[in-house]
Amino acid sequence: MVIAEREPIPPATHQPLIELTGVEKVYRMGKVDYLALRGVDLSIGTGEMVAVVGPSGSGKTTILNLITGIDRPTAGEVTVDGQRLDEMSEEQLAVWRGANVGIIFQFFQLLPTLSAVENAVLPLDFARCGSKRERFEHGRRNLQLVGLGDKLDHLPAELSGGEQQRVAIARSLAADPKLIVGDEPTGNLDSVTAKEMFALLARLHGEGKTVLYVTHDGELARRASRVVTIRDGVVVAS
């Protein structure tokens, strides 16, 4: 099986890639129900770069978890690229997520015993996509894209924090997803490295990716093409 290269994604349009309609999320904490989202309506177009901001506990990460299929709503509809995630089984969500979404975490989530290139191809390994050589070449190209073409064989412990986050970004690109989602992707980096990481995300956006990220950094939020503000489980500004 050959790993196919996708056609470039067109610039931002009014056609929504992500739609949340009347979304509620309730978490059970012991005998108490916590309402994390209270009827959220949100639409994000293909090719947009959107920052999600708000106080701690406002529901920002919950929204990202619903959009990536990591969690499912208690009520309402979550549609991404025409697919109703709230109607999928856990197995369907896992397959869909692996093929359509690149996720970047604050704490990198790299496997310490694997090299940079081995971490970068993990999603393809799990999906058994292509031959081992094809997967390696795909991972190598993505590491070159993020500026780590000379560190393919380095373990995470041999890389700086910024370099580890670059590996995480390369991993998020493994399936060439339409959507890149970051949960505080620069939150564990110093300010200079954080700006470098944002520049890389902006570059991916410029190449046609839809980019959605949560941040507490007001400066980085303002550099997005759109800012969505969440407070008490409700979108209060967009």
Asked if 16 contacts 45 with a C-beta cutoff of 8 angstroms, the reply is: yes
pTM score of the predicted model: 0.85
Average pLDDT of the residues in 115-142: 87
Residue 51 pLDDT level (bands cut at 50, 70, 90): very high
CATH of domain 48-62+89-237: 3.40.50.300
Lowest-pLDDT choice from 11-20, 123-132, 140-149, 157-166: 11-20
Nearest to 178 by CA among 135, 220, 211: 211
pLDDT at residue 2 greater than cutoff 90: no
> What does the domain layout of the chain look like in residue ranges?
48-62+89-237
| Mean residue pLDDT across the chain | 88
